[in-house]
Amino acid sequence: MKPKSHRKSNPKTSWEPLSQWYDGWMGQDGSRHHRQLAIPAVLELLDAQSGERILDLGCGQGVLAAPIQQAGAAYTGIDLSRSLIRIARKRHGKRGRFLVGDARALDDLPQIEAQSFDAVVFLLSIQDMQPLDAALRAAAWALRPSGRLVILMTHPCFRIPRQSGWGWDGNRKLQFRRVDRYLTPLQVPLKAYAQDGTKGVSRSFHRPLQAYINALGECGLLLDRICEIPSDLKQYRGERRKAKKRADEEIPLFLGIRAWKTS
């Protein structure tokens, strides 16, 4: 299957000017959320086997390379940001291969062959890519028949950036999650940057759950497992601590999805 890929002569990611900030936040092994929640969930869904070839799309500064190498699998990371790939090579160059490239146009990369990977991962990157179908079609193109795709993202039902948040119900003494918008796909400004005289803001793309499941199906990727991951990292203090803890335990932060290539 040839990906009808998304092609621009000079594609850019709003993460390029944020590369130093992101690397400072992530460090060698990732943020606390990466180490304690996101990476363990990806590894469980992926179940990487020795000798397998794993492709990480939107790999950033390469945090997934070490655990994939530890599983005995061969790691390839691709990111549109040159600076992040430079940092990834410095930090994790011995653990895998890192390429600058557009995840939506993998067949433009001479190093990447069709149907050559056992598994493809998007770790907290699919919500930075638009359009969704181009990214998933390219991932399906890179997968061997019966290969698997793992996506880890912030939960699209509960954590819509700028359109959801916590509230307090004083009568019932409970912390609730408010969702202001959900079904409409949104492009959300996230983090402002100023670099070399250029000002801008990074963008994230919200889509409802149906957009992900339906796009996977249209690419011949059949879903067999999801996991909804709560945030349990906080130290709870103060009189609302019980309610806050319960809300964190009940309302998931991340969503993990696994799907298999059927053709």
Q: Which parts of this chain interact with ligand SAM (CB under 6 A)?
A: 13, 15, 26, 58-60, 63, 78-81, 84, 102-104, 123-125, 128-129
SS3 255: strand
> Any idea which residue has 């790691």 for tokens?
75
Q: CA dist 193 to 15, 104, 197, Å?
A: 9, 24, 10
**DSSP at 126:** G
| Closest distance to ligand SAM from the beta carbon of 199 (Å) | 18
User: β-strands 53-57, 117-123: how paired?
Assistant: parallel
In this structure, what token pair is assigned to residue 83? Answer: 């600076």
Least distance CB 200 / ligand SAM (angstroms): 14
Contact between 162 and 234 under an 8 Å Cβ cutoff? The reply is no
Residue whose CB is less far from ligand SAM, 9 or 171: 9
- 92 or 148: CB nearest ligand SAM: 92
Q: Which is nearer to ligand SAM, 52 or 79 (CB)?
A: 79
Closest distance of CB 106 from ligand SAM, Å: 9
Which lies closer to ligand SAM via its Cβ, residue 70 or residue 263? Answer: 70
Grouping H, G, I as helix, E, B as strand and the rest as coil, residue 95 is helix
CB closer to ligand SAM out of 55 and 129:
129
Find the residue with minimal CB distance to ligand SAM: 60
Helix axes 82-92, 19-26, angle to 10 degrees: 30
Residue type, 211: A
Q: Of 64 and 221, which CB lies nearer to ligand SAM in the complex structure?
A: 64
Please identify, using beta-carbon distances, which residue of 25 and 168 lies nearer to ligand SAM.
25
Tell me the closest approach of the beta carbon of residue 108 to ligand SAM, in angstroms. Answer: 11
- Among 76, 245, 221, residue whose Cα is nearest residue 151: 221
Residue 32 phi, psi dihedral angles, 5° rounding: -60, -40
Give bridge partners of residue 70 from the DSSP assignment.
none
Burial (CB count within 10 angstroms: exposed 0-12, middle 13-18, buried 19+), residue 86? middle
Question: Residue 13 CB, nearest distance to ligand SAM (Å)?
Answer: 4
**What is the three-class DSSP state of 19?**
helix
- Please report how close the Cβ of residue 144 comes to ligand SAM at its closest, in angstroms: 21
* Least CB distance to ligand SAM at residue 30 (A): 6
